[in-house]
Structure 1
């Protein structure tokens, strides 16, 4: 007996045991089944394949393609059974082991084909204070900043990504046959081969796009209606307002983008309220300003992400800021004279 015939026999036996386990069985049958499994690792693998194929068909029971195949197979089995009954005068088996194995294999093949045609998205995340550099299948690279979430879904004609929250730097490999499209809430950024940065805060619905190389097309949307697109060239940045309107392009802050990719935070004449909000993204606790005048003070400098000691030391020297801990927060304030 060659290997192919032996494997066919094992597969047929596995399907037969699986069919028996779908109904009632005796303790003697269970003991016989355990002995059959213990025969070899191939027996175990064959039975596991039957189980996996059946679970897949269960999961896809409402799929139109699966339903059509199920009906076609059922009709075929019913026809063959009727012919068998007429010829021999009795019904032997409605579902033979080979029929079960064949149908399971057919379902499994369709399941794999559907995955290939309609791939599911892969999700990449970072925790607070964490950063990740990820190389995608097409050679593109994405860098996730702190507390970010990105979904990636590639197909034969499209590269679709969704920024759920946070900040990501995209270095896109050129592929004119497959546009590189990043969705942020209802808006989209489309590129072919370029590099750009997107920051998205879903809680305040704030989107900022900075182009560091090439050209991208920014298409804002509101209530699922696309608004006129804006083309951004290298060195240009834009933001999308809650209204869906795009802020007029401004100059990219290359220093800020390069800084965060090196785990640093860059401030240039930035209000203290904005600086603290940026710093809080890297911390597992919150810094809060309890002085309205202090919020408007300006700060400039480069600090290591997560290193609050040097940041606070600078504030104490430059702005005479006082600190205290309260309810798990670090409070910034100025003593009134």
Structure 2
């Protein structure tokens, strides 16, 4: 690799390190960073060197050294301005403020056309009576728009997150649930779980009978069955262990022979900041794990100890695993 591209890659690596510790990084940023590391061994090595510098010299010293080097090589127009303030300018406080600004208590009045909005914070769970004969048990970081007609609640749209909807046997009026680009129609006495993350959805039936209308096709879901769907189509109904699939209702997360990358992606929904796996082999490792929601503050250390990973803890709840 020539000196120009090596310097360019080093600058990108330091830029990622600054952004991940800024308190403004999002879930999408975490995924983009993971993809950047996976693009080439050179990218991963450049970030490993940047991280080693961060660990050896501390954030302020490392950034001052890199800033002087960048100015000498690139002049005043280099792409990433790495200042001491970028690292130390209240990353943890910024992260907390972000959650306070974006999230609000349940039952807040939004702007048209969404109207009534139900939300839970990261790590928060709550159960609400949203309409006569309809209760919704909301999991962490969930966003629901309530559908109304003439002041009467007729349904809901799960925009992000996870919830269990229970329709009492006594309810006579329909209650339509929208999730991703699908719609669910259920009989009275039905209970089902819906989940939507990154435009992919799953429906898990607990009791009764529900039907998914997606892309012009109706797919029935029976008790202890789960159906997944996204923009590419609808999968077949598969049997699931309800105790495992919905263990979050008991404040427990259970993972059975799943890639560690998928486990971490799910855990990230329950804690501020992000855990990012920078090693592809580690992310592909199949694991069996059980965590309580009370362990979310130390879960990165538990993963580190259990699977021999190396953890770099950054401000704002960000942890890099390799």
| Shorter-chain TM band | 0.5 to 0.7
Does the Cα contact within 8 Å between 2:300 and 2:319 map onto a contact in 1? no
Instruction: Give the CA deviation at 1:154.
Output: 5.0
Q: Mark the CA change 1:178 to 1:155 in structure 2 (over 3 Å): closer, same or farther.
A: farther
Matches of 1:254 and 1:248, distance apart in 2: 17
Does the Cα contact within 8 Å between 2:114 and 2:145 map onto a contact in 1? no
Larger Cα-atom Rg: 1
Instruction: Give the CA deviation at 1:122.
Output: 2.5
Matches of 1:253 and 1:332, distance apart in 2: 30
1:179-206 Cα offsets, whole Å, 9 max, x none, are 22101232101112201000002xx311
User: For 1:287, which of 250, 259, 275 is the aligned residue?
Assistant: 275
Matches of 1:310 and 1:185, distance apart in 2: 32
Does the Cα contact within 8 Å between 2:180 and 2:200 map onto a contact in 1? no
Instruction: Give the CA deviation at 1:176.
Output: 6.4
Matches of 1:137 and 1:162, distance apart in 2: 14
Size of the aligned set, in residue pairs, is: 207
TM-score, length-scaled by structure 2? 0.59
Q: 2:78: which partner in 1? A: none
User: For 1:305, which of 272, 293, 299 is the aligned residue?
Assistant: 293
Does the Cα contact within 8 Å between 1:129 and 1:283 map onto a contact in 2? yes
Q: 1:107: which partner in 2? A: none
Does the Cα contact within 8 Å between 1:158 and 1:178 map onto a contact in 2? no
Does the Cα contact within 8 Å between 2:165 and 2:193 map onto a contact in 1? yes
Matches within 5 A, 1:95-114: none
The answer to whether residue 312 in structure 2 is matched with residue 332 in structure 1 is no
Matches of 2:160 and 2:285, distance apart in 1: 28
Q: 1:238: which partner in 2? A: 227
The answer to whether residue 176 in structure 2 is matched with residue 187 in structure 1 is no
Matches of 1:170 and 1:314, distance apart in 2: 33
1:2-32 Cα offsets, whole Å, 9 max, x none, are xxxxxxxxxxxxxxxxxxxxxxxxxxxxxxx
Q: Secondary structure at the match of 2:192?
A: strand
Q: Secondary structure at the match of 1:275?
A: helix
Matches of 1:179 and 1:121, distance apart in 2: 19
Q: Secondary structure at the match of 2:201?
A: strand
The answer to whether residue 193 in structure 2 is matched with residue 205 in structure 1 is no
Matches of 2:211 and 2:170, distance apart in 1: 16
Q: Secondary structure at the match of 1:167?
A: strand
Q: Secondary structure at the match of 1:147?
A: coil
TM-score, length-scaled by structure 1? 0.56
Unaligned runs of 5+ residues in structure 2 are 1-112
Matches of 1:308 and 1:161, distance apart in 2: 29
The answer to whether residue 218 in structure 2 is matched with residue 229 in structure 1 is yes
Does the Cα contact within 8 Å between 2:180 and 2:230 map onto a contact in 1? no
Higher relative contact order (CA 8 A, sep 6+): 2
Does the Cα contact within 8 Å between 1:128 and 1:146 map onto a contact in 2? yes
Unaligned runs of 5+ residues in structure 1 are 1-118, 222-226
Does the Cα contact within 8 Å between 2:253 and 2:292 map onto a contact in 1? yes
Instruction: Give the CA deviation at 1:155.
Output: 5.3
1:259-278 Cα offsets, whole Å, 9 max, x none, are 21122211111110010001
